[in-house]
Chain A
């Protein structure tokens, strides 16, 4: 029973991180129909920027995260302007290759700047707390609370503000959005900004319980893809739900099946889903 609660809480924590990463990915996919393979690199950079601000300039954890959000968000915007916008009308294979090019560059850059070694991020919230008879570190609680706060803010932004509603409008119908006078370029940039910011938050929150290294984005991004296929490409609630489903599946799978193969669970799940539903779980096409 104790192990189960522990694992459920673990699943919740992993799920929170996955959801945040998947949210950024799904927003970009919804707007531009680009599977942004470089999103994992944004996640990785998010952790490094936070780490560097803390180590180099002795910034407070929260300030470091804020800087990271801005830096990575702007990097996302830059990517949209320099790469994806020029490729708007190119065959779909081109976006993917371009995204892979960015991914390779950013990873090599990180390795050049910060080296290939694994690093740890210290946190001011290392203390252990006791909740309902389970011992937890404060950082893990913070990840969960932080993720939920961010999700609520994102929801309010998308539903209650004009800017947010333009994103939704464009995701639903790009041409239509253009026709009613929405500046699609601006919305695309805004979406990349949010997407990058979400990646930075996810990475900065989870870095203290994981390690920071140039390849840290690989698995996370692959799993985020699995999640948005699970939850429907472009769907916001789907990304959140999918993230938590995968988080729980993994933490339970690691305990009760095999820790060695816990990373395979996501991919096997994906292979099974796409085998039966080649267009994802919630494809809208009328076939």
Chain B
């Protein structure tokens, strides 16, 4: 396994958003987290990627405790993520948007930039090459010079993927990648995720589109009211009584 959470808990004031979650993200697979709205999926992502610090519990990445590391350090270790809303810089080109994703693998500083040193030139080229490589990977080589504000919603999703991939990650967390796009485009993104796994990149995603998840994911965790209620393959999940209840609103007893 690549990432492991132990008793991960996050409270906001009196509200427990994530409660005692143990989850193992397996290397080289597509892992998925599903659950009704407000189940704590996004909070879980934020805890693993370092945006939130958990109230208690641990996040272990390749045997190393990363619970209290800031997001940028976690990214350096090889954990990348996307957000539900794609925040691109719309007045810049697609290439310029992606290029900055490789900045964390460079060492040059302000002075190098001002004096245009050898190191600066070498590393700028490295970043540009990387950006072209990942844009090719996500299938956007034809629009690298367009302004990010002028591309379609689906292309924006792909740019966000490319940006995450430009950081040279081991694992990518995707927050509802298929939100706001049609089913044909969803297919395309699913293919892309499979391609990422083939490249040796572990994928972990949150998704509402159940069909997509059931077809795609190797391993699924179900959250409800911040707690893990089930975990396993898609068949196991589909036949799980608790999951059916949670989704069909059978929580009248609570």
A–B: direct contact at CB < 8 Å: yes
**Seed contacts A286-B11, A286-B12; 6 additional CB < 8 Å A-B pairs:** A284-B13, A286-B10, A286-B13, A286-B52, A287-B52, A287-B53
For B17, the closest partner residue in chain A by CB is A286
Once the chains are docked, how many angstroms separate the CA of A284 from the CA of B52? 15
Q: Give B contacts to A, CB under 8 Å.
A: 10-13, 52-53
0/1 string, A34-75, CB within 8 A of B gives 1: 000000000000000000000000000000000000000000
* A contact face: mostly helix, strand, loop, or mixed: loop
A216 to chain B, nearest CB (A): 41
A to B contact number (C-beta, < 8 Å): 8
Q: What is the interface size of chain A, counting residues whose CB is below 8 A from a CB of the partner?
A: 3
In the complex, residue of chain B having the shortest beta-carbon distance to the beta carbon of A286: B12
Complex-state Cα separation, A287 to B50, whole angstroms: 11
Nearest Cβ on chain A to B26's Cβ, whole angstroms: 30
Contacts of A286 in B (CB 8 A): 10-13, 52
- Chain B residues with CB under 8 Å of A284's CB are 13
A residues with CB within 8 A of B: 284, 286-287
A284's closest neighbor in chain B, by CB?
B13
Query: Considering the chains assembled together, what is the distance between the CA atoms of A286 and B14 in angstroms?
Result: 10
- For the complex, what is the distance from the CA of A286 to the CA of B13, rounded to whole Å? 7
* Nearest Cβ on chain B to A262's Cβ, whole angstroms: 38
Give complex CA distance A228, B161 in Å. Answer: 41
For B10, the chain A residues whose CB sits under 8 A away are 286
Residue of A nearest to B43 (CB): A286
In whole angstroms, what is the CA distance A147 to B11 when docked?
A: 40
Q: Please give, as numbers and ranges, the residues of chain A lying within 8 Å of B12 by CB-CB distance.
A: 286
Q: With A and B bound together, what is the CA distance between A284 and B12 in angstroms?
A: 9
Report the separation of the CA atoms of residues A287 and B12 in the bound assembly, to the nearest whole angstrom: 8
Closest chain-B Cβ to A283's Cβ sits at a distance in Å of 12
B residues within 8 A CB of A287?
52-53
- Closest A residue to B15 by beta carbon equals A286
**How far is B66's CA from A198's CA once the two chains are assembled, in angstroms?**
51
Report the separation of the CA atoms of residues A286 and B40 in the bound assembly, to the nearest whole angstrom.
14
Kindly report which residue of chain A lies nearest to residue B55, judged by CB atoms: A286
Please, how many angstroms separate the alpha-carbon atoms of A284 and B13 in the complex?
9
Q: Which 8 A-B pairs have the closest CB atoms?
A: A286-B12, A286-B13, A287-B52, A287-B53, A286-B11, A286-B52, A286-B10, A284-B13
What is the CB-to-nearest-CB distance from A285 to chain B, in angstroms, rounded to a whole number? Answer: 9
Enumerate 8 A-B pairs (CB-CB under 8 Å) in ascending A order. A284-B13, A286-B10, A286-B11, A286-B12, A286-B13, A286-B52, A287-B52, A287-B53
State the CA gap A63–B12 with chains docked (Å): 50
Quote the shortest CB–CB distance from B70 to chain A (angstroms): 12
